Structure 1
Amino acid sequence: MSTAEEPLRSIGELAQRAGATVKTVRFYSDRGLLPESARSGGGHRRYGPRALEQLTLIRSLRALGLSLPEVRRVVDDADVAGHVLEDAVASRLRELGSELRAMRWREAALRLVGECPPAERADRLRLLGVLSTPPSTAPLARFWRAWLPPRMPARATAAFLEAAVPQPPDEPHPTQVLAFAQLHAMTTAPCPGGRQPQPEVHRVAGARGAAVLYAGLAEAYELTGPHLRRARDPHPGEALDAYAAAYASAYGSRDSPEFRRRLTARLATEPRLDRYWELTAVVLTPPAGHPEPTPGSADDWLRAALEQDNTRTA
């Protein structure tokens, strides 16, 4: 029952006080978000004093982009400052972050097409047409899973993929979008001869030996990173020792000058992988930034250091 201190308002009065339309108030009432306190003799809705505060809350939550089910959970929660609102806001922030990343990729892709020579637009549209926004890294991961030895331990495979698969930048430049699209095209194209060629060391080491190999190579690449960032010329040292030791373990041999000479011949160049690492470097590096080291650039540096060491010990 109403009192002098707590007058009931009609739907029109509530809408006017809230700066909303009658249609809006009726919409939330019909969905149970804004319960009425009573009905007039003519069956018209009447709202109590808390209705204005609740309507203001509902409209604020909707303005933040929360869905009706999320708004209902917040409204039904007695503590507006509690976990229900925190969870709803956090969920919306995650969704908004995904939407912003997608929009940035679309913007960079549009610039890529709009700024390229007309003769190149058809090819770029073809490359971009198969990408989601932002793009998925799943095709790149499948490419490497086919390259790694079968039955390699899951933890070792996950560690390798983390290093080998570049994540799409949140705010890409058109050149990074193009490089990622080219990576996608390359990794989804049929392999030469119908299957991904395997390096000799996979056959020799087997799945578990390959896991040990890539753990050792990861250490060697990490040691090489500072040299690459400082643009130092390849040279023998701790990084090369770790590199040679990783291969010696895989081949069941002992690291020695003779082994290093044989290793040089065994490390065959794979143009497809070279191209992968070139594109990966572009994806990871903004146009104005310094190239980020990749396993491919680290391996090139270490091979050059190995050849230098072989020349020195010959």
Structure 2
Amino acid sequence: MDGDTLYPIGELARRTGLTVKTIRFYSDRGIVTPTDRSPAGYRRYDVDAVARLDLVRTLRDLGLDLPTIRRVVERELSLTEVTAAHAEALAVRIGILRLRHAVLTTVAERRLTPEETELMQQLARLSEDGRRRLIGDFLDAVFDGLGADSAFAGVKRSMTPELPDDPEAEQTRAWVEWAELALDPDFRAGLRRMAEDLAAERAQGDTTGPRRDFAATVRDLVAPALAAGVEPASHRADPIVAAFAAHYAHVHGRPDDAELRRRLLLRLESVNDPRRDRHLRLLAVINSWPAPESLAPVLDWSLEAVRVRMPR
């Protein structure tokens, strides 16, 4: 058949894969009009109708409504403009669906109560401005009043989630859980105590710069002993405990040994809060950072080593 051939509606249906009923529906609404009619009054369509119906089917599959499709096929609207606007709308919808999926997955995995589920839903629905306010409030609760902003700028950046415009499902789930954790008053208070200790440690810095972070010092001292199989209660652990106790005492004063060990134990327990580890892992997922090394093994070892040396 050449370009001048007119197709009956049944042939048009065969060529396009649409049903006769669907083609009649589009025809009645002026989206694909018949070129002519047979002597018996049956509709007949030219080859352009095949291309137009293929376009209509594609646009319908993409979710465009019929009035918009009609304006596109009649060239009242640019196909580029319409598809760009529709793609943007779909992106918003996909984002909403990802948030819903994150909430449902978290609820199922953690067996949350209805009240907890409602909170998760509210956190998932936060706008970008809402997320920024929550993050700012969280960082203020931890660092406000501890010195110049520049002193903690790097630490703040390391604790700031940056959810991308088009997050993966895992990032969305991590954001919802991070937001819930950031609202926990007890978790905030624990981080605040750690920030205060860090400020005190940095205040001891000399002209070459601030002193090492306490947790990093413990890690560097304990990790080799842990790898070598040194038991926390053994005499081989004595110089290691003495070393990080000396670091702590240098910053926080030199009370008697019993008081020093008690305060050191409280500091280690605070740093070893499992929520801190979880917080760092969630940040890594949200920000696409490498997974952080857990300090739990060295901190567990350190806690046991201090406890067995506490006065009876």
- When normalised by structure 1's length, the TM-score is 0.45
- When normalised by structure 2's length, the TM-score is 0.45
Larger Rg: 2
